[in-house]
Amino acid sequence: MPGDGGSGDDRGSAGQDQGSGDSQAAGGSGTGSGAGPGERTAGGPGGGPGPADCGTGGTPAGQAAEPTPPPAPADPAAGPAAYPGAESSAATAHGWGEPSKVDEFDGGDLAGWNMYDGPGHAGEGTRSPDAASVQDGILTINGDSEGKTAGMAWTDASQKYGRWEGRVRAPASDPSYNALLLLWPTAENFPVGGEIDFMEMTDHTRQSTELFLHYGEDNSQVQGEVQIDATQWHNWAVEWSPDGVVAYVDGKEWWRTDDTSILPPGPMHLCIQLDWFPEGGGEVKPSTMEVDWVRQYPMPESEQGGGSEEGLLDGPLKRITEGGPDAGSATRGPSGG
């Protein structure tokens, strides 16, 4: 779903709200309407229908997979991992080299982030910098019983093509709260600018995680889902190149598309959001998400050649080795279908 990860009206000085899960409504798979950032989909900075509009999003979680054994370090002779989870990161497994930007949340503030400050997703609740805090090297975003939550954007780290990775865990939550890592168009031109929600937890038990890639004037979407216990720490990564988009968890590929016709047309930036999709009625349980670190990697010029013309990979994507998360699946269609 679209995220609000831009410099939208509810983010700090940038003001707009990036949709977070524009493609999801309270655990659904929705899409945004493409109006201003505040009207984006549930995955992005703005409001808009959520994953529930994707048709395939927000499906009930299946049996969680066993914890993923980490891949062997790139250099067995090397010393201890430089940061938590490095040995099971996509960057280590696939040799992404040195990151161009890192935040390990070991400071006392969130300097460098554009904090959302204003109405919540689709105008529901509020987004406030006060709902995000850093302690003991961990970023925590809290969502309260009245829909007060937080979101943040790395707007000064915009780039076209690249790799992003974050280490996240989220306790079981209220059904109205979705936790996201997403890429949002820096031009704030959703939906034509696209949106990549490469980690969207629409299942409140946090046993299933989805991906939504938004594209086109009508905010069409492709979607994937992986069964994994996201209440535990996992490394979520995305690689966006001229040839397609690939999603990883704990260094293992679980989703991809080689359809170059649906790729974002311009620079994007990383956003972290805990979005509220009120279902109406009943008491809302306060919910949280935690982030240990995030890293951004440039795409080498040698890998920025022409893209292929292959279509979306349909059906189960058998790309996870034994011991990894269950294979994801991808579907395609206009949002709201």
**What is the per-residue pLDDT across 264-300, written as a single tens digit (0 to 9) for each?**
999 999 999 999 999 877 899 999 999 999 999 999 8
Which residue bears the tokens 């937080």?
150
- In a 10 Å sphere around its CB, with 0-12 CB exposed, 13-18 middle and 19+ buried, how is residue 23 labelled? buried
- Report residue 216 CA to chain centroid gap: 19
- Report residue 284 CA to chain centroid gap: 23
Q: Which of 20, 60, 59, 58 is closest to 40 using CA atoms? A: 20
Q: How far apart are CA 279 and CA 277, in angstroms?
A: 6
Q: What would the mean pLDDT of 218-223 be, rounded to a whole number?
A: 97
Q: Are strands 162-169 and 118-119 parallel, antiparallel or unpaired?
A: unpaired
Q: How far apart are CA 212 and CA 150, in angstroms?
A: 21
Written out in words, the top-level CATH class of the domain with range 4-60+81-334 is: mainly beta
Residues of the chain with pLDDT > 70, as a percent, come to 66
Structure confidence at residue 207 (pLDDT) = 98
What count of Cα atoms within 13 Å lies in the side-chain half-sphere of residue 65? 23
Structure confidence at residue 4 (pLDDT) = 53
Q: How far apart are CA 35 and CA 163, in angstroms?
A: 27
> Has residue 58 got a pLDDT over 60?
no
- Say which range, 123-132, 137-146, 225-234, 323-332, has the weakest mean pLDDT: 323-332
DSSP 3-state of 169: strand
Structure confidence at residue 81 (pLDDT) = 54
Q: Which residues contact 264 (CB under 8 A, 6 or more apart)?
A: 160, 183, 185, 193, 194, 195, 196, 215, 240
**pLDDT tens digits for 163-193?**
999 999 999 999 999 999 999 999 999 999 9
Structure confidence at residue 75 (pLDDT) = 52
Neighbouring C-beta atoms of residue 112, cutoff 10 Å: 13
Q: How far apart are CA 68 and CA 158, in angstroms?
A: 31
Structure confidence at residue 108 (pLDDT) = 83
Higher-pLDDT residue of 116 and 327 is: 116
Structure confidence at residue 138 (pLDDT) = 98
